[in-house]
A = this chain, B = another copy of it.
Amino acid sequence: MAGSTDGEKRNHTSGVPAGIPEMGEIVGYKLRRAQLFVFQDFIESFAKMKLRPAEFSVLAIIARTPGQKQTEIAEQLGIKRANFVALMDGLERRGLAERRKAATDKRSHSLHLTPEGARFVDKMTSVWRNHEERLIERLGGPEARAALLDLLGRLLDDPER
């Protein structure tokens, strides 16, 4: 029992007014919807672990390259260093990561996983693989995923410079 109420001001011949885009052909819109969908799955996947996307990314980076300072990691992830503080506080409070005072620069902190954090990252990685596998299935295979990553990379990587 839904349906529009009236119907009005159309173009001359058909029913499509001028060159107004359909939502499905707007790259930004479709990107956004897809991102929301993927994050939805991600968030549900990590609900039990109480891990949010930003926390996942920080742990992954620390695990792969320990010893970096906050600003470095924040910048890599496009997070303002001011907002990184609370994020890191949370990871430290949970005993997953820690700040060590860097010897060379007394201002900065060197970020590391705790032993528990390392075990956590192992589980996290496994959960992530399932999530990623689910996406691959939807996309229609690993090649499709690779193609998507490539296209997204073209948007991100700066052409000049």
A32 at the interface (CB under 8 A from B): yes
B155 and A60 contacting across the interface, CB-CB below 8 Å: no
Q: How many residues of A contact B (CB 8 A)?
A: 80
Across-interface contacts of A155 in B (CB, < 8 A): 34, 37-38, 135, 138-139
A64 and B22 contacting across the interface, CB-CB below 8 Å: yes
**Total identical chains:** 2
B8 and A66 contacting across the interface, CB-CB below 8 Å: yes
Render A1-25 as a binary contact track against B, CB cut-off 8 A, 1 for contact: 0101111110000001111111111
Render A21-36 as a binary contact track against B, CB cut-off 8 A, 1 for contact: 1111111111111111
CA gap between A84 and B77 in the complex, in Å: 31
A90 at the interface (CB under 8 A from B): no
Residues of chain A whose beta carbon lies under 8 Å from any beta carbon of chain B = 2, 4-9, 16-39, 42, 53, 57, 60-61, 63-69, 72, 76-78, 100, 102-105, 108, 110, 112-113, 118, 121-122, 125, 128-129, 131-132, 135, 138-140, 144-145, 147-149, 151-156, 159
